[in-house]
């Protein structure tokens, strides 16, 4: 009988172990290889995306730079398009202020910047201070002729008047004199009480009604704001000039047509006064006297008021309904203006834009719980729209309301300054104690 070999079970186990070990190692290697390929593929895709993003970013930055260069004046292409001719106002109500942020403003920083409304319906605020009033003569380095060094205003109004007077002189318009500026509450009250005395036989109600036709109640006169200036013509020893009606003179007409470019507006327009064709605004201002008063409101607000032919009251009413506007000159953005409620807080918060192109930001309180903020943009090349209008083009009205000024005045900045001279009737009737 043939002998049979007995199988070694340990050998079989060893062989199987080796086989399974090799299979396991193969699987591990394969898995690692697949993971490595996946990682490499993922890295390659990531690098590709990063490269594409970098190229896209460069392309975006180039396009943005080109856009900024093309629209560096600050104009938003989504805004309504201006006609491109002359000065015009575009209503931006419904368009948010771009790149907006907020800033805090103290009331004393904003009370004297131009838009403080004083009239028979709006009395001067209780926190009004006289501390920063200046002598117009001294503040303008005697560039503006004045009645005396007591003719005062706030600095911005004085500098605006200086710019206007110097521009007028450059065009041959001489002899402009700032006759009256700021009136204190006490001065206004003295004028008002004198007016009451004229009607002492009437009832108190009738006294006040009659007095207010000539003199504003203390605290409600535009002169109490320190931003209004009454102008006259004067040249020592020249009665022809001194007796000339202001708005029949070339300098007076020049001031009416051009002072707005420097931030000053004619304050009290009447029917056909100061020139023929002027619309009556007395129903808005409450003043029906023929006054030679120019009011500082700032260049942006003055440009908007000029473009829309509005007095100060009308303009603020317009802003209450259209609280975001833009002012264009020949299609170029010059000013962006926002009016917003700020209450009586001190400080208060306003919204401002951080977009490029803004060269100056000014916030002014309007005495109605609102702030008007003007953003100024660079001035471009000025064409015919910026040229001054001349007296030859104006149809002047012959007024009959010329009166007399009983006092003598001392004029600064003129030859032999300090010598008093009677200026007769070159001031309109009622103006000495008017408004």
Which of 193-207, 223-237, 390-404 has maximum average pLDDT? 223-237
Contact criterion met (CB below 8 Å) for 79 and 95: yes
Apex 296 CA angle, 293 and 297, nearest 5: 130
- Residue 202 in any domain: the answer is no
Contact criterion met (CB below 8 Å) for 364 and 372: yes
Nearest CA-CA partner of 279 in 254, 248, 314: 314
- Residue 204 in any domain: the answer is no
Is 407's pLDDT higher than 90? no
> Number of structural domains, the chain?
1
Is 22's pLDDT higher than 70? yes
Average pLDDT taken over every residue of the chain: 84
Phi-psi sector, 276: left (phi>0), alpha (psi -120 to 50), beta: beta
Q: So what's the pLDDT on residue 414?
A: 43
Q: So what's the pLDDT on residue 45?
A: 67
Q: What sign results for the dihedral spanned by CA atoms 244, 245, 246, 252?
A: negative
- Residue 34 in any domain: the answer is no
For 278-320, write each residue's pLDDT tens digit.
999 999 999 999 999 999 999 999 999 999 999 999 999 999 9
Question: Pick the residue with more confidence: 204 or 58?
Answer: 204
Alpha-carbon distance 222 to 367, whole Å? 13
- Residue 60 in any domain: the answer is no
Is 92's pLDDT higher than 60? yes
Residue with tokens 């006759």: 179
CATH number of the CATH domain containing 98: 3.30.1380.10
H or E segment to which residue 231 belongs: strand 228-233
- Residue 12 in any domain: the answer is no
- Residue 56 in any domain: the answer is no
Q: Is the pTM of this model over 0.95?
A: no
Question: Pick the residue with more confidence: 263 or 201?
Answer: 263
**Domain limits for position 266:** 87-183+221-433
Question: Pick the residue with more confidence: 356 or 2?
Answer: 356
- Residue 201 in any domain: the answer is no
Q: So what's the pLDDT on residue 394?
A: 36
Alpha-carbon distance 199 to 205, whole Å? 11
Q: Classify 351 as helix, strand or coil.
A: strand
Question: Pick the residue with more confidence: 186 or 65?
Answer: 186
- Residue 69 in any domain: the answer is no
Apex 153 CA angle, 150 and 157, nearest 5: 140
Question: Pick the residue with more confidence: 231 or 381?
Answer: 231
Question: Pick the residue with more confidence: 68 or 418?
Answer: 68
């Amino acid at each position: 009988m043939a002998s049979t070999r007995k199988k070694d079970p340990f050998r079989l186990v060893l062989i199987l172990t080796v086989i399974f070990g090799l299979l396991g190692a193969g699987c591990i290697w394969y898995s690692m290889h697949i993971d490595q390929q996946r990682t490499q593929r993922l890295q390659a895709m990531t690098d590709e995306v990063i490269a594409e993003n970098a190229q896209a970013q460069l392309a975006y930055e180039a396009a943005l730079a080109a856009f900024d260069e093309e629209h560096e004046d600050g104009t938003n292409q989504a805004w309504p398009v201006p006609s491109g001719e002359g000065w015009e106002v575009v209503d931006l109500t419904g368009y948010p202020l771009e790149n907006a942020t907020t800033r805090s403003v103290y009331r004393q920083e904003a009370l004297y910047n131009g838009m403080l409304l004083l009239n028979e319906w709006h009395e001067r605020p209780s926190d009004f201070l006289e501390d920063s009033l200046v002598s117009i003569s001294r503040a303008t380095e005697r560039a503006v002729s004045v009645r005396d060094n007591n003719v005062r205003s706030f600095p911005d109004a004085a500098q605006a008047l200086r710019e206007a007077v110097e521009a007028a002189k450059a065009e041959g318009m001489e002899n402009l004199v700032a006759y009256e500026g700021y009136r204190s509450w006490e001065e206004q009250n003295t004028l008002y009480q004198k007016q009451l005395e004229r009607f002492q036989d009437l009832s108190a109600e009738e006294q006040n009604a009659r007095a207010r036709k000539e003199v504003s109640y203390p605290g409600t006169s535009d002169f109490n704001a320190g931003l209004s200036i009454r102008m006259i013509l004067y040249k020592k020893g020249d009665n022809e000039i001194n007796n000339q009606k202001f708005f029949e003179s070339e300098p007076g007409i020049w001031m009416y047509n051009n002072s707005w470019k420097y931030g000053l507006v004619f304050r009290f327009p009447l029917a056909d006064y100061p020139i023929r064709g002027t619309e009556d605004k007395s129903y808005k201002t409450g003043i029906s006297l023929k006054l030679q008063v120019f009011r500082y409101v700032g260049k942006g607000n003055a440009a908007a008021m000029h473009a829309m032919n509005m007095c100060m009251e009308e303009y603020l009413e317009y802003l209450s309904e259209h609280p975001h506007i833009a002012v264009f000159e020949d299609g170029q953005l010059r000013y962006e203006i926002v009016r917003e409620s700020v209450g009586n807080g001190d400080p208060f918060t306003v919204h401002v834009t951080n977009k490029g192109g803004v060269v100056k930001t000014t916030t002014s309180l309007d005495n109605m719980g609102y702030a008007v903020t003007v953003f100024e943009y660079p001035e471009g090349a000025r064409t015919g729209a910026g040229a001054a209008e001349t007296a030859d083009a104006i149809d002047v009205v012959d007024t009959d309301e010329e009166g007399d000024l009983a006092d003598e005045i001392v004029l600064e900045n003129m030859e032999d300054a300090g010598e008093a001279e009677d200026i007769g009737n070159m001031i309109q009737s009622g103006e000495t104690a008017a408004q």
